[in-house]
Each structure stands twice: as C-alpha cells, then as structure tokens.
Amino acid sequence: MIRYGIIGTGWIAKAFVDGTLLGEEMRLAAVCSRDASRGEAFAAPYGGAVVYTDPAAMAESDIDAVYIASPNFLHPAQARLFLEHGKHVICEKPITVIPEELEELQALARSRGLVYLEAIMMMHLPARQALREAVSKIGRVTTAHLDFSQLSSKYPAYLAGQTPNIFNPACCTGSLMDLGIYCVYPALDLFGMPEGISASAGFLNTGADGWGTAVLPYPGLQVTLTWSKVGQARQGSQILGDEGTVTVQSISCLTGITRFERDGTVHPIWGEEQKATLMGAEASDFCRYIQNPADTHYQLCQTRALEVSRVMAEIRRLAGISFPGYEEAMT
Ligand SMILES: NC(=O)c1ccc[n+]([C@@H]2O[C@H](COP(=O)([O-])OP(=O)(O)OC[C@H]3O[C@@H](n4cnc5c(N)ncnc54)[C@H](OP(=O)(O)O)[C@@H]3O)[C@@H](O)[C@H]2O)c1
C-alpha cells in the first residue's frame, strides 16, 4: 500500500483521490493546503489524512509518495523537495516549466531510485492503443488536426477584471500550458518528433496566452494543433488518411474515438469514461512503476515527457509566450 500526500485542494486533486479509490494500491495519508481548514475539509471524506500547511513539513513525514496539484510555477521546486526527501512524485502537467528542469529532476529521481511521473492520463489508458490501431487502418495519413479548445470557467472572472491563476503568467499558466500540452502529447506519441515547428498565440490583457496554434511538419504529413481557453470547440480532433478518417471527441481523455472508412462506414472505437477511471489508470501505473522503476512503459513516459517539454518550449519561444519572473530566475 502506497501512503501518499497531496499538495493543492482544487477539483483535480479530488478527482485524483477518487481515481485511486477504484484500486487498493494507494491511500491518502496527508493533505497540504495553505489553509488548514481547507485542508481538513478536503481530507474529511477520506478519513485519517494528516493536514499540513507547509510542503516542507509534509516532506519530512513518513509518506511514500506525493501527488502535486498546485499551480504550475510551483511544480519543479515541490518535486525537488519531495525527491530530496526520498518520496516518489506524480506531478500534474506541465511537470516542469522548462525542459532543463525536467532533465535535472529526472536525473535526481533516477539517482535516488524514485519514480517521477507527469500525470498525463492518455499515456496510461487502453484507448491509447485503440487509437493507434484505428490510425493504422486509415491508409496513408497526410493530415491531422488535434484540438483542445474549452471555454474556461474562470473567463467571466477575467472579463470582470480579475486575474485568476490560470490567466496569470506569474503562475506559468495560460492556454498552451493548460490545454495545448494535451495536443502536443498525442501528436508526438502517434507521429514522433516533428522536422520543425511553427507556432503563434493570441494574448489576453493579463499577458497570458488565451489561444494558439502550432504546425508540426513530418515527411509526407502535416499535424496542426489548436487550443483555446476563450472559445468552446464542438467538433474534436481528426486524423485523415487516404482510406479513412479517425475522429476523437476528447484528445485529453481519448474518449469518443470513431473510425470512418472511405465510403463513410462507421466503426465506433472508444466511448465515454468517468473522470475517476481516467485518473485511476495513471495512479495505478504510478504504483506499478514504484514496484519496478525499470518498467519499459515508465521509461517511455520519461522520454515522452522530455520530448513534449522541449516542443512546448519551442512553441513558447516561437509564439512569444513568456513567464517573466520565472524564466529570468532560471537564467
Ligand atoms: N489532469 C487534468 O485533467 C487537470 C485538470 C485541471 C488542472 N490540472 C493541473 O493541476 C494543477 C492545478 O490546477 P488548478 O486549476 O487546480 O490550479 P489552482 O486552482 O490555481 O491551484 C490548485 C491548488 O493549489 C493551491 N494554490 C493556488 N494558488 C496558489 C499559490 N499562489 N501558491 C500556492 N498554492 C496555491 C490551492 O490549494 P490550497 O488553497 O488548498 O493551498 C489550489 O486549490 C495545474 O498544474 C493544472 O495544469 C490538471
């Protein structure tokens, strides 16, 4: 049984705990919130978790692992803290802000025999293999358009003049870091590293990117990625071959996958899934890797995370997405 702590008490932290409850490998033993009463309220339904207000104190405790669900700018320092205290780390996306941090922290985890995993659902879902098989059946693929555009629940606050974390460059957030990453992951997972990248973004008056596009060219194939937090897409993603088409309603969850033959014949491939099921899959793999850090899928996740981080950094450079205080402190 892996006894783990959580940092952050947002809805995604609750979804993760609910996901772990589908299995019996992990038990919530600690919660870290800046506010003790918020931590108590989070922990109450699960029973028995110790509440901390300081990550350093939680790192000193006897937990085995931590799930980091704090704002992006805190991920690298918090991961380092827990790795240095001998804890396995599963961290929300993006696992770090810049790829050099990721390389360094991956090396630290390796040197301590610890698991350090980016919480990317699609890498742990059976639908990932089903998507690959569907794409292998549509002939020569020349075009793919992967989209994750979801109107943010925080957009009204932004319009009212506030700066929620998600639209605050000081938190290293914005639409690429929040949603665009979910397009980059399957693009690299399906097609590998591109021959080049072009990218652009649109900005809100907080300085955060609200929407963006990247084009990834491959030999005989062009992959276009689009994402937005200020508009709601309804059509999902499409991969076009000369013998058929694959559509994916949710590119982050790999749900709603359909293959169409050239004549229009429809093959449903994958339906809907509960959020807890999606989160449970990554939690279960995390536990498996802790038992065996040499696991080949864990090694693939490490490589993929670094590739994605490098592509994200290049998209940011090309599109002019910057996180002023953070990046200056890194150089
Ligand atoms: N996998 C997914 O589907 C998914 C979905 C949503 C988000 N995420 C990722 O999960 C992470 C958290 O996202 P979120 O939208 O929940 O973020 P958030 O609401 O901005 O912050 C998450 C939690 O961190 C704490 N926090 C907030 N601001 C902080 C600050 N300035 N300093 C220290 N702690 C702070 C808060 O907990 P306390 O007040 O209790 O300290 C808050 O509940 C992000 O990295 C995001 O990319 C993943």
In a domain, 146, yes or no: yes
The minimum-distance atom of ligand 1 relative to the CA of 73 is 45
The per-residue pLDDT for range 216-239, each reduced to its tens digit, is 999 999 999 999 999 999 999 999
In a domain, 266, yes or no: yes
Ligand 1 mean position, distance from CA 231 (Å): 21
Res. 330 pLDDT band, cuts 50 70 90: low
The per-residue pLDDT for range 303-315, each reduced to its tens digit, is 999 999 999 999 9
Same domain, yes or no: 84 and 183: no
Residue 254 CA to residue 121 CA, distance in Å, equals 9
Same domain, yes or no: 107 and 169: no
Ligand 1 mean position, distance from CA 169 (Å): 14
User: HSE of 223 in the Cβ direction (CA atoms, 13 Å)?
Assistant: 25
Ligand 1 mean position, distance from CA 68 (Å): 9
In a domain, 151, yes or no: yes
Same domain, yes or no: 151 and 15: no
In a domain, 325, yes or no: no
In a domain, 329, yes or no: no
In a domain, 99, yes or no: yes
Same domain, yes or no: 73 and 212: no
Same domain, yes or no: 147 and 111: no
| Protein residue with least CA distance to atom 16, ligand 1 | 10
Ligand 1 mean position, distance from CA 14 (Å): 11
Res. 76 pLDDT band, cuts 50 70 90: very high
- Tokens linked to 71: 């704002």
Same domain, yes or no: 161 and 93: no
Same domain, yes or no: 93 and 201: no
* Of 120, 165, 227, best ligand 1 pocket probe by most atoms within 8 Å of the beta carbon: 165
Residue 331 CA to residue 320 CA, distance in Å, equals 17
| Ligand 1 contact, 10 CB (< 6 A) | yes
Same domain, yes or no: 132 and 110: no
pLDDT confidence of residue 327 = 74
| Protein residue with least CA distance to atom 30, ligand 1 | 71
| Ligand 1 contact, 297 CB (< 6 A) | no
pLDDT confidence of residue 331 = 57
Domain count, the chain: 2
Distance in angstroms between the alpha carbons of the first and the last residue of the chain: 41
Long-range contact pairs involving 209-215 (C-beta distance under 8 Å, separation at least 24): 209/174, 209/175, 209/176, 209/319, 209/321, 210/167, 210/174, 210/175, 211/149, 211/175, 212/175, 212/176, 212/180, 212/315, 212/319, 212/321, 214/180, 214/183, 214/184, 214/315, 214/318, 214/319
Same domain, yes or no: 243 and 297: no
Ligand 1 mean position, distance from CA 177 (Å): 13
| Protein residue with least CA distance to atom 7, ligand 1 | 12
Q: Region 77-101: what's the mean pLDDT?
A: 98
The minimum-distance atom of ligand 1 relative to the CA of 11 is 16
User: Where is the domain boundary, 275, 293, 323?
Assistant: 275
Ligand 1 mean position, distance from CA 171 (Å): 10
Same domain, yes or no: 58 and 153: no
What CATH number corresponds to the domain at position 174? 3.30.360.10
Same domain, yes or no: 128 and 265: yes
To the question of pTM greater than 0.95 for the whole model, the response is yes
The per-residue pLDDT for range 101-158, each reduced to its tens digit, is 999 999 999 999 999 999 999 999 999 999 999 999 999 999 999 999 999 999 999 9
pLDDT confidence of residue 287 = 98
Q: What is the average pLDDT value for the chain, to the nearest integer?
A: 97
What CATH number corresponds to the domain at position 287? 3.40.50.720
Residue 128 CA to residue 272 CA, distance in Å, equals 14
Contact 144, 239 (CB under 8 A): yes
In a domain, 101, yes or no: yes
The minimum-distance atom of ligand 1 relative to the CA of 178 is 47
Burial class (CB in 10 A: 0-12, 13-18, 19+), 165: middle
Same domain, yes or no: 138 and 265: yes
Q: Give residue 259's identity as a one-letter amino acid code.
A: R
- Which residue range is the domain that position 8 belongs to? 2-122+278-302
In a domain, 328, yes or no: no
